Structure 1
Amino acid sequence: MIAALRRPQDVRGLSLKGLHLIMAMRVCAMFEASGRDPVPDLAQRYRSVEAACAVHGLVQTIKQVWPEPFMVNRPCCLAITPDEATLANLGRAAVSAHRDLFSAAIAGFVRADRHEALYNATIHAVALIP
C-alpha cells in the first residue's frame, strides 16, 4: 500500500466527480493562501451555489478531521498527492453509497469517531456536483 501511494497517480484516470473533488480542494487551497473566499469561484464552475457550498463544506470538514495538513498539488498539475488519491477513493465510495469501503479507505488514518462527519460531507458534495 505504501509503495502504491509513492507512485504518483494521474488526474486523467479519475472519474469526473473524483476530478471535481480534487480540483475543488486545489482551488480552495489556492484561494485560502490568497485570503479569498472560494465559494463564488466554485459556484461559477458548478453553476450552483448549493453545490459550491457543499464542496466547500467538504473541504472544511476535511480540514477538521484529517490528522495532518491535507496536501494538494497546484491546479495545473496532473499528478495526484497521496491525500488527493485518498479523497478520490472516498468520493468513489460515496458515489456508490458503499459505507464500508469508505471507512476502509481511511481506517487507521482518520480516527473512527470522525468517519461519520466526513462520510456525510462527502455524500452531500458528490450528490450536488453536476
Structure 2
Amino acid sequence: MPAGQSSTRYSALIDSMARPQDVRGLSLKGLHVTMAMRLCALFEASGRDPVPDLAQRYRSIEAACAVHGLVQTIKQVWPEPFLVNRPCCLAMTPDETTLAALARAAVSGKREAFSESIAGFVRADRHEALYNATIHAVALIP
C-alpha cells in the first residue's frame, strides 16, 4: 500500500475512533459479546468467575463457556489491555467497537473482513485463534 493511502486509511480510522459509537446500534449478538466483555471485566476485578452469571444470562453453560473463552483469547492476543466501559454506559470504547466489528464479520462468515478489522493492530499469527473463538461464541449465543 503506498504511503499516502496508508496514512489516509489510518487517519479515517483514528477519526472514527474519536466519535464513540452507541451500543444501541449493535446487533443482538454484537451487544451480547460487548456486554459479556464488560461483565467479565467486572467479575475479574472482584475476583469472581463470570461463567455462572453468563450461563444464567444465556440459559446455556456451553454458550457461557464459549463467550468466556473468547474473552480469554482476547486477553491473550490483544496487543494492549482491552478497554471496556461500565455495563450501564451506552458509549463504546474503541476496543469494544473493534470487537463488535469482529463479531459482525464472524456472524456474516466474512473471514477477510475479520482480518481487515484488526490488520496492523493484532499480529497476523494471532488472527486464526481470535477468529475461531469469535465464531464459536457467536454461534452459541442464543
For the residue of structure 2 that corresponds to 1:110, the secondary structure is: coil
5 Å-filtered alignment, 1:15-94, equals 15-94=27-106
Gaps of 5+ in 2: 1-12
TM-score (norm 1): 1.00
TM-score (norm 2): 0.91
The list of structure 1 runs, each at least 4 consecutive aligned residues, that deviate by more than 2 angstroms after superposition, is: none
For the residue of structure 2 that corresponds to 1:80, the secondary structure is: coil
Which AA in structure 2 matches 1:99?
A: R
Gaps of 5+ in 1: none
Question: How many Å separate the matches in 1 of 2:32 and 2:69?
Answer: 14
Aligned to 1:114: 126
How many residues are matched?
130
RMSD: 0.2
The alignment-based identity, stated in percent, is 84
How far apart are residue 90 of structure 1 and its match? Answer: 0.1
How far apart are residue 37 of structure 1 and its match? Answer: 0.1
